[in-house]
């Protein structure tokens, strides 16, 4: 199994669920994480990543960390200073139309969105609300492009787009697609030589569907045009994702493995969860399992069954622990506070 991993956690793209998978694998195999200084939750995002943002990094010591997976703005030469040269690099993408709809609800306080009532209103005159010089502009345009380290207001000429795609291809071993999450997990398992249980998950940091809105076609087209760089990244790597599946797995085995993964998830849901699945924040009984509520979205979580056997309880709890709580738990393990 591969144990040296860089995961670029792109915003609002099922990346919290992937992070949970990496946290569980790392914890189970006693791997080290490149944590933000002081145990924060982002590596000084939205600034480009620098090695010195990592707790325990020193230019004088050759120490390397196994897994880098907290939010960052990608800058490969700096990333290479904190992980072994054998590290596998991957990320996950989401259709920019749904990504921006989600971003609008979640980052409603961002300067570009704060004065509009709806996404339609924003897209009718984006330049009236969007300021390229504001520090939070990336939430409102080409968010994936920004997270990969590029300029979200950059030139969309075919030559520049090709350069950007080539740069991503040369840095990353593969990219997953959140709309095909189960298929992505099968590919992840294949590329990292992991077993099925290592990629089993429950959706984390997902929002209640009551705040999701269906967008009319005219708005969808405006969204694609406004997020043209993201759209180019998404369509290109959606294609290479399926090519990679054909090459490494084949459609027939993919179907079998997706079925096995879903069966295992259903089995764990029956064993672990109270009720039928995710619940709203007010209904989560255990406060340590309550996800952070942010922006205008209601973020869902889970209740565990009472009286589970100890080993199963531990497995179940890890599957549903929100990223902030899990991150801080692992941080304390890796950097224990000094004894009083």
Residue 331, helix vs strand vs coil: helix
pLDDT for residue 298: 73
pLDDT for residue 293: 72
For residue 209, what are the CA distances in angstroms to 161, 212, 214, 278, 299? Answer: 34, 5, 11, 11, 10
Structure tokens at 318: 């890890």
pLDDT for residue 276: 67
Q: Domains of the chain: which residue ranges?
A: 5-330
pLDDT for residue 301: 86
**79 vs 12 pLDDT, higher one:** 79
Q: Mean per-residue pLDDT for 319-326?
A: 94
pLDDT digits (tens, 9 = 90+) for 160-186: 999 999 999 999 999 999 999 999 999
Q: Mean per-residue pLDDT for 304-325?
A: 95
Q: Element (H or E) spanning 271, and its range?
A: helix 251-272
pLDDT for residue 205: 76
pLDDT for residue 6: 98
Q: Mean per-residue pLDDT for 214-222?
A: 90
- Model confidence at 331: pLDDT above 90: yes
pLDDT for residue 210: 63
pLDDT for residue 156: 97
Q: Mean per-residue pLDDT for 123-131?
A: 96
Residue 189, helix vs strand vs coil: helix
Nearest Cα to Cα of residue 188 among 319, 82, 95, 91: 91
pTM for the full predicted model: 0.95
Q: What are phi and psi of 54, to 5 degrees?
A: -90, 130
Q: Mean per-residue pLDDT for 107-126?
A: 94
Whether domain 5-330 has CATH 3.40.50: yes
User: Is 55 buried (19+), middle (13-18) or exposed (0-12) by CB count in 10 A?
Assistant: middle
pLDDT digits (tens, 9 = 90+) for 242-298: 999 999 999 999 999 999 999 999 999 999 999 767 777 778 788 788 877 766 667
Taking a C-beta distance cutoff of 8 angstroms, is the pair 14, 99 a contact? Answer: no
Taking a C-beta distance cutoff of 8 angstroms, is the pair 15, 99 a contact? Answer: no
pLDDT digits (tens, 9 = 90+) for 4-44: 999 999 998 989 999 999 999 999 999 999 999 999 899 99
Overall residue count recorded for the chain in this entry: 340
Taking a C-beta distance cutoff of 8 angstroms, is the pair 101, 213 a contact? Answer: yes
Residue 149, helix vs strand vs coil: coil
- Model confidence at 209: pLDDT above 80: no
């Amino acid at each position: 199994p591969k144990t040296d991993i860089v995961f670029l956690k792109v915003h609002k793209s099922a990346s919290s669920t992937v992070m949970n998978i990496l946290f569980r694998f790392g914890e189970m195999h006693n791997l080290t994480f490149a944590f933000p200084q002081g145990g924060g939750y982002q590596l000084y995002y939205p600034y480009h990543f620098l090695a010195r943002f990592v707790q325990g990094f020193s230019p004088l010591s050759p120490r390397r960390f196994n897994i880098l997976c907290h939010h960052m703005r990608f800058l490969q030469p700096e990333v290479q200073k904190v992980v072994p040269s054998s590290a596998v690099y991957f990320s996950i993408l989401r259709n920019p139309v749904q990504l921006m709809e989600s971003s609008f609800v979640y980052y409603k306080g961002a300067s570009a969105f704060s004065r509009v009532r709806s996404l339609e209103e924003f897209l009718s005159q984006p330049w009236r609300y969007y300021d390229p010089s504001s520090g939070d502009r990336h939430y409102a345009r080409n968010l994936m492009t920004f997270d990969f380290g590029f300029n979200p207001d950059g030139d969309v000429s075919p030559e520049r787009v090709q350069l950007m795609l080539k740069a991503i291809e040369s840095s990353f071993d593969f990219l997953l697609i959140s709309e095909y999450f189960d298929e992505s997990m099968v590919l992840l398992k294949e590329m990292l030589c992991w077993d099925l249980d290592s990629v089993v998950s429950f959706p984390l940091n997902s929002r209640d569907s009551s705040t999701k809105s269906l967008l009319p076609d005219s708005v969808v087209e405006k969204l694609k045009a406004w997020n043209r760089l993201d759209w180019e990244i998404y369509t290109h790597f959606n294609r290479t994702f399926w090519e990679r599946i054909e090459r490494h797995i084949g459609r027939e085995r993919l179907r079998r493995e997706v079925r096995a993964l879903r069966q295992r998830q259903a089995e764990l849901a029956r064993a672990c969860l109270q009720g039928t699945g995710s619940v709203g924040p007010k209904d989560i009984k255990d406060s340590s399992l309550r996800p952070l509520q942010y922006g205008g979205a209601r973020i869902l979580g889970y209740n565990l069954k009472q009286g589970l056997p100890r080993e199963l309880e531990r497995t179940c709890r890890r599957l549903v622990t929100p990223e902030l709580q899990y991150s801080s738990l692992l941080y304390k393990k890796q950097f224990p506070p000094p004894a009083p």
